[in-house]
Structure 1
Amino acid sequence: MAVILATSRSFGSGDRDLTAELAAAGHTVLRGPSSHEIDELREALGQADAWVAGTGPVTAEHLDASPGLKVVARYGVGTEAVDVAAARERGIVVTNTPGANSDAVADHTVALILTALRSITAGDRGVRSGDWSVIRGRQLGSQRVGLVGFGRIGRGVAQRLSGFGSSVIAHDPFLSDEDCAAASVSSATLETIGQQSDIVSLHAPGGQTVVDAAWLAALQHPIVLVNTARPDLVDEDALAAAMRDGRVRAFAADTLHGDTAGSASPLLADDLADRVTVTPHFGAQTVEAVDGMGSIAVDNALAVLDGRVPPNPVR
C-alpha cells in the first residue's frame, strides 16, 4: 500500500471524501501546506510514493527530498510551477487534471464579466453607504467579446456567451478555421482583439505578458478586461495607468501577482475600487470541480503506482 502526500487546500473537501476512500483501500494519506514550503514538507516527502500537488512550486529540491516518489499528480491543469524536466530526469511521472475545472472557471468568467459590465461592485458599495444612485451599464448581448486563448475554458465561455447573444472573436495560435466554425466565433490577432472588442477575457497560459503598455496604448475605445487565467498575463502598473486615463473602463479578475500577497497591487488602490473586482483565486472552487480534480489526480497517481500508463501524463 502507498503513502500519498496531498498538498492541495481543497483535496477531498467536495462531496467525495477521497482521503477516506484511499484509507479504506489501505493507503496512507499525509497532508501538507499548499505553499509547498520545503522545510514543512521534507518529512512527508521522505515517505511519499505519490504527491497530489497543489499550486505551490515543485522543484528539484523537493524531488531530491523524495527518494521513493514515483508520481507528481498535479491537482489542476497548470504545470508551470512543476519542474517537469527535473522530474523526468529522476524517473518521476508528472500528471494533471485537464478539463476537471473548466466549467467552473467558465461560469466564474461570465459572472465577472457581468459584474464589471453592470458595475455590481460599485452598486453594492454605494447601497451599503446609503447611496442608491443609478449606475447605467450595458447589456452583454450588445457587446463584442474577445477571448485570448481558446482552450477548454475559452470555448466554455464562448458557449455560455452564445446564450446572451454576444458576438465573440478569439485569438489562439492553435485555433483553426474548423475550430472557429464549430464554435461560431471569428479568429482574430491579439492586436485586433484589443481594438475591436468591448470586453476582453484572458484564458491564455502563463509565462507571458499579454496586456502590456503597448497593447493598452493601441486600444481604440475603452474596454472591460477580465482575467481568470494567470496573473503574469497582465502588467498591473500599465493597467492601473490605463484605467486612470479611461482606456479601460473596468477590470475583474480571479488572481493578482502574488495572490495572497497581492494587497500591494496597484489595481487595489482606493481610487480604482469601484471599477476593480478581484476574487481570491476561487474560480475553480466548486464542489463539482473539486471532486473532479481530486478523483482524476488520484486515478493518475494510482495508475502510476500500479505500473500502468496514467490517463493524463504531462509530456
Structure 2
Amino acid sequence: MSSSLPRVVVTQRFFDDRSIGFLRANGCEVEIAQLPPGRADGDLDQAELEALLAGAAGWVVGHARVTRELLQALPALRVISRRGVGYERVDLAAARDLGRVVAIAAGGNDASVADHALGMMLALARRLRESQADMQAGRWAILMGSDLYQKTVGVIGLGRIGKSLVRRLSGFDAEVLVHTTRPDAAYAEASGVTYVGLPELLERSDHVSIHAPLTAQTRFLIDAAALVRMKPGAFLINTARGGLVQDADLLAALQAGRLGGAGLDVFMSESDPTFAEVTKQLLALPNVVATPHAGASSREGLDRTNMIASQSVVAVLRGEDPAPECVVADGRRSG
C-alpha cells in the first residue's frame, strides 16, 4: 500500500537521524537512496535519477545535474533542496518555468569550509605533507617552513565563507586583502580588511584563498596570466569550485617552481573527465595538499546543512516560504 504522505528522497550520504526525524515529524515519508558503491548522485544519469525520484515531492540533492529534461520527467517534484550552497548544476530557469522551488543550505557549512581553507594554509606553510613523507622514508631532517602569522592573505570573494575565513585570520594578525564585486565600506572598517583589485591581490599576497561562485564571468579566474602575477613562493587555496582555476595552468606553475604550493579541495576533473590526468599529476606533487571536495564534510557541518535543507523542504511542502537566504529559484511566483 502506498503512503499518502509526501515522499522526500535524499540522494546524499551522511544524512543524520535528527534531520530524518525532523522530516518525518513534519509529515514526510523519507527515502534515503541506496547509491551504488563508489558513486555519488552527481555520477547518476537521468534515467537513474528518474527511477529514484519517480513520484517524489521533495529532493535533498548533492551534486546531481538538475536539468530541464529531468524536471519535466518528474511532475510531482515540488522542491529541490541542495545540501550545500553552490547551484551551478541546477537549471534555475527551468525550475522557475516549471513552478519548482530550488533552495540551498545557506549558512550551514561556512565554518567547516573556512576551517578547511585555513588548515590547508597551515599545512602548506609548515610543509606537513612533505615532512611526514620524509619521516616515513627514514629521513628526519627538518624542512624549513613559514609562519602564517603576520602574512598577507588575499581572499577572493566575500560571501559567508569568505567572511568566516577573515574572522579566523584575525587570530594570526594577518593583513587581509579582499577582492569582491560588492565591497562594503562598513564591513571593511569593522573587520580591518582592505579592498583591492585582483591584480594587486595576486601580487601582494603570501596566500590566496578563493571563495567565489562559479559563473560564466569567474570561470578560469585564475589562469596562466593570473598565476604569473602571484608573488613567487605564494600558496593558492581553492575550496570553492573546480573551474575557478585552470588546473593545467596551475600544474605548469607548480612544476616550474613559481609557487610555494597549492591546497585543492576541488578540481576541473570533477566536471570534465579530460582533466583527469592533470588532477593525477597535481596530486603527485609534494607541495600540493588535496582533499576530494570534502571541505564542507565535517560531522557538524553536514548536520547543519542536512537540517537547513530539510527545513526548506518542509516549508515548501506546507505551502510556505523557506528562509529567504536559502531560496535561489521559486517558480511558484511565476505568472
Shared topology, TM-score over 0.5? Answer: yes
Query: In the alignment, which residue of structure 2 is the partner of 1:210?
Result: 221
Once the two structures are superposed, the pairs formed by residues 1-12 of structure 1 within 5 Å of their partners are: 1-12=5-16
Which one is further off, 31-40 or 283-292?
Answer: 31-40
- Of 151, 156, 161, 1:148 maps to 156
Query: In the alignment, which residue of structure 2 is the partner of 1:237?
Result: 248
Determine if the alignment matches structure 1 residue 45 to structure 2 residue 53. Answer: yes
With normalisation by structure 1, the TM-score equals: 0.93
SS of structure 1 residue aligned to 2:158: coil
For residue 263 of structure 2, what is the amino acid of its counterpart?
A: A
For residue 28 of structure 1, what is the amino acid of its counterpart?
A: E
For 2:97 and 2:275, how far apart are their aligned partners in 1? Answer: 38
Determine if the alignment matches structure 1 residue 188 to structure 2 residue 189. Answer: no
Query: In the alignment, which residue of structure 2 is the partner of 1:252?
Result: 263
For 2:297 and 2:283, how far apart are their aligned partners in 1? Answer: 30
For 2:110 and 2:46, how far apart are their aligned partners in 1? Answer: 30
CA contact (8 A) 2:269 2:279 kept: no
For 1:184 and 1:297, how far apart are their aligned partners in 2? Answer: 33
How far residue 256 of structure 1 moved from its aligned partner, in angstroms, is: 1.3
Determine if the alignment matches structure 1 residue 228 to structure 2 residue 239. Answer: yes
CA contact (8 A) 2:26 2:314 kept: no
How far residue 210 of structure 1 moved from its aligned partner, in angstroms, is: 1.6
SS of structure 2 residue aligned to 1:108: helix
With normalisation by structure 2, the TM-score equals: 0.88
Determine if the alignment matches structure 1 residue 313 to structure 2 residue 324. Answer: no
For 2:59 and 2:153, how far apart are their aligned partners in 1? Answer: 39
Determine if the alignment matches structure 1 residue 274 to structure 2 residue 286. Answer: yes
**Structure 1 residues 20, 309: CA separation in 2 closer, same or farther (over 3 Å shift)?**
closer
**Structure 1 residues 271, 244: CA separation in 2 closer, same or farther (over 3 Å shift)?**
farther
For 1:292 and 1:265, how far apart are their aligned partners in 2? Answer: 35
How far residue 309 of structure 1 moved from its aligned partner, in angstroms, is: 1.4
CA contact (8 A) 1:267 1:276 kept: no
Residue by residue, what CA displacement relative to the aligned partner does 1:194-246 show, whole Å, maximum 9, x if unpaired? Answer: 10111111111113212101111223433111111111011111111111222
How far residue 56 of structure 1 moved from its aligned partner, in angstroms, is: 1.6
For 1:259 and 1:61, how far apart are their aligned partners in 2? Answer: 22
CA contact (8 A) 1:240 1:266 kept: yes
SS of structure 2 residue aligned to 1:291: helix
Query: In the alignment, which residue of structure 1 is the partner of 2:333?
Result: none
How far residue 289 of structure 1 moved from its aligned partner, in angstroms, is: 1.2
For 1:270 and 1:154, how far apart are their aligned partners in 2? Answer: 25
Residue by residue, what CA displacement relative to the aligned partner does 1:38-78 show, whole Å, maximum 9, x if unpaired? Answer: 22221232210111111121111221121111111111111
How far residue 180 of structure 1 moved from its aligned partner, in angstroms, is: 1.2
Query: In the alignment, which residue of structure 2 is the partner of 1:297?
Result: 309
For residue 223 of structure 1, what is the amino acid of its counterpart?
A: A
**Structure 1 residues 110, 262: CA separation in 2 closer, same or farther (over 3 Å shift)?**
farther
Determine if the alignment matches structure 1 residue 137 to structure 2 residue 137. Answer: no
Query: In the alignment, which residue of structure 1 is the partner of 2:299?
Result: 287
For residue 155 of structure 1, what is the amino acid of its counterpart?
A: K
Which one is further off, 286-295 or 190-199?
Answer: 286-295
How far residue 273 of structure 1 moved from its aligned partner, in angstroms, is: 1.9
Query: In the alignment, which residue of structure 1 is the partner of 2:83?
Result: 75
For 2:64 and 2:165, how far apart are their aligned partners in 1? Answer: 27
For 1:262 and 1:278, how far apart are their aligned partners in 2? Answer: 19
CA RMSD in angstroms comes to 1.9
Once the two structures are superposed, the pairs formed by residues 11-22 of structure 1 within 5 Å of their partners are: 11-12=15-16, 16-22=17-23
Residue by residue, what CA displacement relative to the aligned partner does 1:255-298 show, whole Å, maximum 9, x if unpaired? Answer: 11223969824254289521111111111111221111111111
Residue by residue, what CA displacement relative to the aligned partner does 1:137-189 show, whole Å, maximum 9, x if unpaired? Answer: 11111311001111111111111111011111110011222221122111111
For 1:46 and 1:75, how far apart are their aligned partners in 2? Answer: 20
SS of structure 2 residue aligned to 1:4: strand
Determine if the alignment matches structure 1 residue 63 to structure 2 residue 67. Answer: no
Once the two structures are superposed, the pairs formed by residues 92-131 of structure 1 within 5 Å of their partners are: 92-131=100-139
Which one is further off, 59-68 or 112-121?
Answer: 59-68
For 2:13 and 2:290, how far apart are their aligned partners in 1? Answer: 20
Residue by residue, what CA displacement relative to the aligned partner does 1:106-160 show, whole Å, maximum 9, x if unpaired? Answer: 0111100001111111111111111112110111113110011111111111111
**Structure 1 residues 220, 112: CA separation in 2 closer, same or farther (over 3 Å shift)?**
closer
**Structure 1 residues 271, 151: CA separation in 2 closer, same or farther (over 3 Å shift)?**
closer
Gaps of 5+ in 2: 36-40, 330-335
How far residue 11 of structure 1 moved from its aligned partner, in angstroms, is: 2.2
Query: In the alignment, which residue of structure 2 is the partner of 1:28?
Result: 29
For 1:25 and 1:95, how far apart are their aligned partners in 2? Answer: 18
